[in-house]
Structure 1
């Protein structure tokens, strides 16, 4: 999921501190707990918006750490033999590989659905 941009209101009015050892502790943030593969509900879709007409296969709905997201993205990119990126809780695979990605994720034990046309 995309993280919300932090504004000054999010810091409780603290704008600047002269204390060099000051660290702001965010009370609202909680550590992301990784779910088991069979509890993840992933969506696989084809996306062409804001990409100059180029198609990418987009995997959304991943809940876990960035390292796990990178690892899953790397596995999908290697199996498909293409490039892509894994960031903001989404995995982008260059090209239309919806069916292949769907099968690969099912073999890994994820609950996967095809969405969006």
Structure 2
């Protein structure tokens, strides 16, 4: 039995397979602007703001999300190249992103 097929060891517990480095399928826009969308579908009516269109090769999404969450006073996460911020204060989020040097558009209703 080779080490590549090992999934559990009594010494270390569950062994995770090495993650293959696949580029994220990020939606980038031709006009160079990022979009702030609002989504509440599948979240029991709780709305979140999605920051879409940031290139993960040029910016550290986790660090940017951490800064935005602390300045907004909200929770959030980074999932599949999209920054999710809880709540619905898109104007404040737009101002924060513009001061960080991004061209921002508010998308959706």
With structure 2 as the length reference, what TM-score do the two structures score?
A: 0.68
Q: How many residues are aligned here?
A: 90
CA 1:95/1:30 → structure 2, altered by over 3 Å: closer, same or farther? closer
Equivalent-residue separation in structure 2 for 1:44 and 1:88 (angstroms): 15
Match of 2:90 among 98, 106, 111: 98
Report the equivalent of 1:42. Answer: 34
Match of residue 76 from structure 1: 68
Of Structure 1 and Structure 2, which has the larger fraction of its residues in helix?
A: 1
Instruction: Provide the secondary structure at the position in 2 that maps to 1:54.
Output: coil
Unaligned 5+ segments in structure 1 are 1-17, 32-38
**C-alpha deviation, 1:45, in angstroms:** 1.4
Provide the secondary structure at the position in 2 that maps to 1:100: helix
1:116, 1:83 → 2: CA distance?
A: 21
Q: TM-score, normalised by structure 1?
A: 0.64
Pairwise mapping of residues 1-117 of structure 1 onto structure 2 (< 5 A)?
40-65=32-57, 68-117=60-109
Q: Which runs of 5+ in 2 are unaligned?
A: 5-19, 25-30
